[in-house]
Chain A
Amino acid sequence: MFSTDRDQDTICAVATPQGASALAVIRVSGGDAETKVRKIAPALTAKLDSHRAYHLYLCDESGSPLDEVIITYFAKGRSYTGETSFEISCHGSQVIVEQILRSLVSAGARMAERGEFTYRAFMNGRIDLVQAEGILDLIESQSPQAAKAALNALRGELSGELRKIENDITWVLAQMEANIDFSSEDIVFTPVEEILLRLGNSKDALERLRASYKSGRALREGLTVALVGAPNVGKSSLFNKLVGEDRAIVSAHPGTTRDSIDAIKHVFGHRIRFVDSAGIRTTHDEVEKLGIDRTIGIATQADVILHILDSSESAPTSIDLEHLTAPVITVGNKADLLGLSDDLGRASSFAVDVLVSAQTGFGLDQLISLILPYAKSTVLDGGVTVQSARQFEAISKALNYLEAGEAALRGNQSPEFIAADLYAGLQELLALRGVCVADEVTDLVFREFCIGK
């Protein structure tokens, strides 16, 4: 967390990516931003209008011109951070950008830390927590689809959806409270069916949001593809071939890979994360055992599993993947060791989906074509998605509380017990949006933003 005296500082940073480009944007924000900016922009008119752009030359301390720029002024309370802010559009050369920043710093501003603009926006009540996370996602989004989903969160669509659910729960709670505090007065209570209906709607909405997490995560982190199989079937060789670099150590000794390794590969705009893992077999080696446990963990979290077999063996060792829910593609490796005439017969006899050779690269394109549909299925059309683990967790908890409340209502429990569940569920959603106080939650979000020390 930032300390408060640092919060008083005027901060500046380049808002566009590093490297040469036609234009770059530098942001300046802080209670005293105007004084600092005027020092390097002496030509700025005395009276500034918010959201208006000014065309002028920036100068360094000695008065010599730095660049011809457009400065946009945002008044306090009307800017992204909520503080007085400026956006300077300058020419995109690295040298110019650095000179302007240096001049701003000598004018009394300091370089912003990562996420600090967003932190200030939250602290000044300009955005709620879900929106803050949306911004983080947008900055870090790795694919156009992910950017779109992040933008939804930023626009407050997820917040809006949550608010709707909160309103419904609040309505149900009001019914319960009337039934408790005013039970002896002669008022007409809402029929249980109507309450159940409203509760059911909230539950469905939360269910939808919860289900969107997996695709949301795939958008953010890419599709996770785990390579699993018995030892020495060539998982690491295949992994290296797939990601196009020698990341995994390859040896003929079974059980070489004990830690998992992952690498990202972009295929047709999709981000695919391949994870190599330790081979699964019965072992007494403690270190290897740990590796195997980890593999099982990886396989459980993967979106797609590549089950690798050694197709050159007459009876390839397969492993038990029964309990896993992700789709499995069975891959027969070491196809190069097969006689050409063997191919079809052997492949069908142990039912592989694709035959490949990590050695020669044979069949890799076909393997990729089998994986891609899963990456595509994660693309969402405009729907609101849940993006962070924190959001997922809160929504799951809220849903559990709502389910408990619904069961209590159906079970004819006294209304205060139903209300207790609903309050707990509501609390989860409020905390998710940062609308009530939960120290831990804000800490977690801003931990992701790597703020301060």
Chain B
Amino acid sequence: MNQFDVIVVGAGHAGIEACLATSRLGCSTALLTNNMSRVGYMSCNPSIGGLAKGHMVKEIDILGGEMGIAADKTCIQFKRLNSSRGPAVRGSRAQCDKDLYCKHMNKVVSAAKNLSVYEVEARALILDGKKCRGIETADGVKIYSEKVILCAGTFMNAVMHFGLKQVPGGRAGDKATVGISNQLADQGFKVSRLKTGTPARALKSSIDFSKTAKQYGDERFIPFSFRSPARLTLPQIPCFITHTNEATHEIIRRNLDQSPMFCGVIQGVGPRYCPSIEDKVTRFAEKISHQSFLEPEGLDSELIYIQGMSTSLPEAVQYEFLRTMPGLENVKLVRPGYAVEYDFFEPTQLSGTLETKEISGLFFAGQINGTSGYEEAAAQGLLAGINAAMQCLEREAVILRRDEAYIGVLIDDLVTKGTREPYRMMTSRAEHRLVLREDNVLDRLHNVATGNRLVSDSVLNEYEKVLGERQELRRVLATTAVVPSPETQAAFKKMNSPVLQKPMKLKDLLRREELTCFKLREFGLETNHDFDKVIEPVEIETKYEGYIDRQTKIIEQARKMEEVLIPRELDFEKVHGLSSEEREKLRSIGPRNLAQASRISGVNPSAIQAIMIHLKACQRAT
């Protein structure tokens, strides 16, 4: 009863994926949460996905995670962002019904085999020297385990700021977690503070939507998950656009002395990519208006999320400035916006498996590693879970490469470079962006899923089936030619495509901008495959083959550095030509290979050269 293979602390987006992964892989798992009603709760905005984030949700899905299924099932508005851009930077985003999302997750964790959920507060880690042995709860109960995955989100030593008033707590309605981060700081962990914020929630009935512009989602729905039905389950609803104006800005400026951020009350570093409205108004003073989406938090929800207006000003000031905005003249707030300050652990203290270097058996995932965002958290939770399970099963670690997945980029960035502000994923962080697309996640990751048995046999069969169909479509395109004839030439003219000079392969025709697989049916191409899963991916890889090939070559070159392994026991003192700063950084990060070493900031190319020479010299010596 009080002995498990794995204990997961926290049932947010990271914790859910972690405990589902370990239990799915056959490890007996305990999930500890402070509040059963908030399993998988979306603390901030009501959507899943977006640019680079949609990519991660799909990667999580192929590797057996739950986030994609939950988002598909509870989607109330779907959009593919950047849809007019190239395929690599298109990102799926689903606005979800928050309540239903929570309920879905609650149901899934409650039903999972090998998984027990407890509503208790974790107070301390049970340590045996430098090994983690379990968790002691606030009531003094000891639960033992081989591995502990800490997914405490923004809850550790958390303080909420409502204006200059401070309240301990990691989220409105939930108390802070105390104990563990101090215990770990005593163990030598480097703990710092970050800050995040959330806007006010308004009462739907208090808003005059006729003064706002409606915005609907896309007609076409593409599910995140391979395991979801192709159709939406819930009715789709619009969002509403309103704007700030000079009057709004004036009120904000006049009250800056009541903003804890501007008075220096908040010490933690906030996300540059998600600034508060105070920040926007001061830093971009020349901008006379800022846009805000009013987003329903659910189909039946009375709550409206006022996007873009994150703030920590006092409630009275929030009322005052919000009421200057069209549609919000009589707005009533259910909950004002607020800022949260919380502890995070410098993620360079982790290895690529998300296990801490200091204490074996202890893993960190999610916001406690300095990230922001549901998807970033879920991705880490999943990989921490997989790796904890791999250790229990005495199997090899699963570390995704940067050219393989956004999740690989995420974790490598965290453990190699660390972060000084809440880390959010962006496509520009992926140097091999053109090959990390939503449409080819299956091609990229099915081997990892299969090799590590991360999904059930029936899902694996589905993967195999889809991959087989893609292969078949590629074969047909590469081997079928269209021959010039009166009929074919007429067809080309009708499609505004140049007529043929000589016979042409379907594959080459598909490269023409104006042609698609659908149009090539005219020339005998059979397209009864699934469009989302088979046709579109093949179409994209054909049309963009040139760019993809070029990127693949760069990847192959980069991989050479990836293959020069740095032995764990390498003494950087003995490597000549390193500065003491470089030695210190290399020692603390402990890069696995030369490529990772080269990404450590402050480690110069000459240092990489020096390490390489040292390794060669060692090789020669043996």
Contact = CB atoms under 8 A, between A and B. Distances in A.
A143 to B, nearest CB: 31
A320 interface: no
Given A3-B613, A177-B428, A414 B577 contact: no
B427 A436 contact: no
Interface centre among A7, A124, A416, A435 (most CB of B within 10 A): A416
Nearest to B50: A184
B82 A183 contact: yes
A123 B606 CA distance: 5
A372 interface: no
Contact of B604 (A2, A125, A183, A415): A125
B51 A180 contact: yes
Given A123-B609, A181-B51, A4 B551 contact: no
A322 to B, nearest CB: 33
B605 A435 contact: yes
A124 B428 contact: no
B559 interface: no
A416 B598 contact: no
Contacts of A417: 86, 434, 547
B606 A416 contact: no
Q: Which size class do A's interface residues fall under?
A: 20 to 34
Report whether over half of chain A's contact residues are helix, strand or loop; otherwise say mixed. Answer: helix
Given A4-B617, A125-B606, A436-B598, A180 B428 contact: yes
Given A181-B51, A181-B428, A416 B86 contact: yes
B620 interface: yes
Nearest to B428: A177
Contacts, number: 97
B609 A442 contact: yes
B579 A125 contact: yes
B131 to A, nearest CB: 36
A120 B594 CA distance: 21
B598 to A, nearest CB: 5
A391 to B, nearest CB: 17
Contact of B606 (A124, A186, A414): A124
Interface centre among B434, B577, B598, B607 (most CB of A within 10 A): B577
A8 interface: yes
B427 A4 contact: no
B89 interface: yes
B547 A181 contact: no
Given A4-B575, A123-B577, A415 B613 contact: no
B428 A7 contact: no
Contacts of B187: none
A186 B308 CA distance: 10
A8 B598 contact: no
Contacts of A442: 605, 609
B608 interface: yes
Interface in A90-128: 120, 122-125
Given A420-B550, A437-B608, A439-B612, A183 B577 contact: no
Contacts of A180: 51, 82, 85, 89, 427-428
5 smallest CB-CB distances across A and B, nearest first, come from A414-B86, A123-B577, A7-B576, A177-B428, A181-B426
Interface of A: 1-5, 7-8, 120, 122-125, 177, 180-181, 183-184, 186, 413-417, 419-420, 423-424, 434-437, 439, 442
Given A180-B428, A435-B605, 9 more contacts: A123-B577, A123-B606, A125-B604, A177-B428, A180-B85, A416-B434, A417-B86, A424-B550, A436-B598
15 contacts: A4-B617, A7-B576, A8-B576, A124-B606, A180-B85, A180-B428, A186-B290, A414-B84, A416-B427, A416-B434, A417-B86, A417-B547, A424-B550, A424-B554, A437-B609
